[in-house]
A and B are shown apart, each in its own frame.
Chain A
Amino acid sequence: MEILLVFIIGLLHAGGLYMLLRRSMFKMIIGLILLGNGANLLIFLIGRLVKGKPPVIDEGLKVFADAYADPLPQALVLTAIVIGFGLQSFAIILIKRVYNVLETDDLDELNSTDEEL
């Protein structure tokens, strides 16, 4: 299972970077979303996958005696997803506004802030 996730993370990162390097604005946002999902999966995987072991200590014990599921990465991933949701929806609205105003999807044509001296 780990090895599968590793490949998926690699694919998401590669796909994200590929999309980021395209000239289209829309593909850039898709790339950012893919990269974000790759990062989230990485956090999830890095907490180590444990099957069917709840992160709960038996009464009377002070520390975990056995391997246990780490609850923290899930909390982190959830937070990161929520933040990503907000940022990505903002970015999508933004590129829509930019597209409406500038009437182009080509990132190479967005150079009016750089040209003038």
Chain B
Amino acid sequence: MSNPYIILPIVFHMAAAVILMFCWFQPRVQKLLSILFSLIGLGISVWLFRLVWHEGFQVTQAGNWDAPFGISFIADTLGSTLGLLSSISLLAVSIFSTVSMREERIKFGYFPTLHFLIMGLQGAFLTADIFNLYVWFEVVIISSFVLLTLGGKKTQLEGALKYVSLNLLASTFFLIGIALVYGLTGSLNLADVAIKIGAVENRGLVNMTAGLFLVAFGIKSALFPMYFWLPASYHTPPAAISAIFAGLLTKVGVYAMVRMFTMVFIGDTFMSITLSGLAALTIISGGLGAIRQQHLGKIFGYLIICHIGFLFAGLGIFTELALVGTIFYLIHDIVVKTNLFIVAGLMNKLTGSPFIKEQGGLYAKYPLLSLLFAIPLFSLVGIPPLSGFWAKVYLIQASFETREFLLVGSIIFGSFLTLWVIAKVWSESFWKDKPEASSSGKPWSTFSTKEKWGILVPIMFLSIVSLYIGLAAENIISLASRIAAELMDPSAYINSILGMK
């Protein structure tokens, strides 16, 4: 169904960023406007999601050029769901950053860049053109570069250098992959490529192209041998920036991977074995890395890697049930990881140290806050009925059905490691007494009322969303099943882009 207004999320965030740029030197105005724009952005995403849910796919052809020639934008269920989730994360983070971000960072253009980042994400979720996807990726990474280097402390610059160089390399690989796809099929429209790539006789070349995309998206989503930039950089920026990165940046790589490997590069045993193997190794290495760390940001950074493995496991198994698991986990992970990094930022502030050895006594001092922190921490582990549980059930069931016992083992092992890590964090930071010698943090009572609400509202908001995902799981499962069915049979997607009935 043709609808020219589906690119509204992209255009709106671009306009928001531009308006924020005009208020460059007025931090107070920027803070208020950013919250307002995030709320409107959330409204737009909800509208788009409801429209797609009730009326099916919405398509628009940019420039009014017909499908295989112009750039198509399509709002399908997966894209609009992820757009909705990124708006939710943006709202939480923009409220959180009004109190946690220092004035000088805001004067360097923090808020406009944040909205540019979300614009890039929305674009990536809505486009149906591979080169356009590349452009949105670049918008995302250049905004993330700016966010990561803002302020420019020593460790931050170092982390940024690693992040920037590896992401630039990934972009180059992506570009080479695009060149090969264009050479093979003569088209860049996802739907058109999906039809034409089946007729290519040289399967070796197709597999090589798939390999290039695997490396490019693998670097961006922190897959096993290519994740080293993530633990080196994610703990360096302020908590608000880490939160939006943790929630969304690696997930857009996963999204691109899901799109390409369910539409274009399908039905190749070698690729699916590679994906399963990499997923298992990602889970294990991420989990083991998290156990070894003492820095709270790094622990959670390694946990991101571990859980990226869960997402790829479903893609490697590639049955409808496994994709339900992957999509469910994706929905759960975006919300929980954003929340987790906001919570980690607050824990650092309260105890005055990012190292869990030097933290402690949080539960004795703040029992109610600890209870609130427990929601994201234990959702991450997947203690039923919290949100992480359901996705793992589907993933394990799917890997049993396809007899991939290696994956079953690594998923269970990964969950166990996550449990261990979270239990360690809980006992060190919450139950243990605060060590005498360590630096004292900023007690909760010294926060002003505005600061208290600015921190509590986003955490509570995201916790409510993740509780909803866990407790009203049947809604999310029906959403994930619908997405998985659409991914397994992309003919509806292809037909609505190419305008065939």
Chain A positions within 8 Å of B, measured between CB atoms, are 20, 25, 28-29, 32, 35-36, 39-40, 42-43, 46-47, 72-73, 76, 79-80, 83, 86-87, 90-91, 94-95, 97-98, 101-102, 110, 112-114, 116-117
Given A32-B169, A32-B172, A87-B142: A25 and B135 interface contact (C-beta under 8 Å) = no
Residue from the set B160, B165, B176, B179 with the largest chain A CB neighbour count within 10 Å: B179
Task: Give every chain A residue within 8 A of B397 (Cβ-Cβ).
Answer: none
Cross-chain contact A97 with B165 (CB below 8 angstroms): no
Task: Give every chain A residue within 8 A of B404 (Cβ-Cβ).
Answer: none
- The number of residues on chain B lying at the interface, defined by a beta carbon within 8 Å of a beta carbon of chain A, is 41
Given A32-B168, A36-B175, A113-B155, 9 more pairs with CB closer than 8 A: A25-B161, A83-B135, A83-B138, A87-B142, A90-B164, A94-B145, A94-B157, A110-B162, A116-B295
| Contact indicator per residue, chain B 134-161, by CB within 8 Å of chain A (1) or not (0) | 1100100110011001001011011111
Interchain CB contact (< 8 A) of B232 among A43, A83, A90, A114 = A114
Q: Is B182 part of the binding interface, using a Cβ–Cβ cutoff of 8 Å? A: yes
In the complex, A79→B179 CA distance in Å? 13
Cross-chain contact A101 with B176 (CB below 8 angstroms): no
Task: Give every chain B residue within 8 A of A46 (Cβ-Cβ).
Answer: 179-180, 182-183
In the complex, A90→B165 CA distance in Å? 11
Cross-chain contact A94 with B155 (CB below 8 angstroms): no
Given A102-B154, A117-B294: A39 and B168 interface contact (C-beta under 8 Å) = no
Cross-chain contact B154 with A112 (CB below 8 angstroms): yes
Cross-chain contact B154 with A101 (CB below 8 angstroms): yes
The 9 residue pairs across chains A and B that have the minimum distance between CB atoms? A46-B183, A39-B175, A43-B179, A113-B232, A42-B179, A117-B294, A83-B138, A35-B172, A98-B157
Q: How far is the CB of A26 from chain B (nearest CB, A)?
A: 12
In the complex, A73→B157 CA distance in Å? 36
Task: Give every chain B residue within 8 A of A72 (Cβ-Cβ).
Answer: 182, 188
In the complex, A80→B157 CA distance in Å? 26
In the complex, A32→B166 CA distance in Å? 10
Q: Is B171 part of the binding interface, using a Cβ–Cβ cutoff of 8 Å? A: yes
In the complex, A76→B71 CA distance in Å? 12
Q: Is B353 part of the binding interface, using a Cβ–Cβ cutoff of 8 Å? A: no
Q: Is B233 part of the binding interface, using a Cβ–Cβ cutoff of 8 Å? A: yes
Cross-chain contact A39 with B165 (CB below 8 angstroms): no
In the complex, A32→B233 CA distance in Å? 20
Q: Is B196 part of the binding interface, using a Cβ–Cβ cutoff of 8 Å? A: no
Interchain CB contact (< 8 A) of B161 among A35, A79, A110, A117 = A110
In the complex, A110→B161 CA distance in Å? 9
In the complex, A107→B179 CA distance in Å? 31
Q: How far is the CB of A21 from chain B (nearest CB, A)?
A: 12
Q: Is B7 part of the binding interface, using a Cβ–Cβ cutoff of 8 Å? A: no
Cross-chain contact A35 with B169 (CB below 8 angstroms): yes
In the complex, A20→B175 CA distance in Å? 17
In the complex, A79→B172 CA distance in Å? 13
Given A87-B138, A101-B157: A94 and B294 interface contact (C-beta under 8 Å) = no
Task: Give every chain B residue within 8 A of A43 (Cβ-Cβ).
Answer: 175, 178-179, 182
20 contacts between A and B (CB under 8 A): A25-B161, A39-B175, A39-B176, A42-B179, A43-B175, A43-B179, A46-B180, A91-B165, A94-B145, A97-B157, A98-B157, A101-B157, A102-B157, A110-B158, A112-B155, A113-B158, A113-B232, A113-B233, A114-B232, A117-B295
What residue of chain B has the Cβ atom nearest to residue A13's Cβ?
B176
In the complex, A56→B131 CA distance in Å? 23
In the complex, A112→B480 CA distance in Å? 42
Cross-chain contact B172 with A98 (CB below 8 angstroms): no
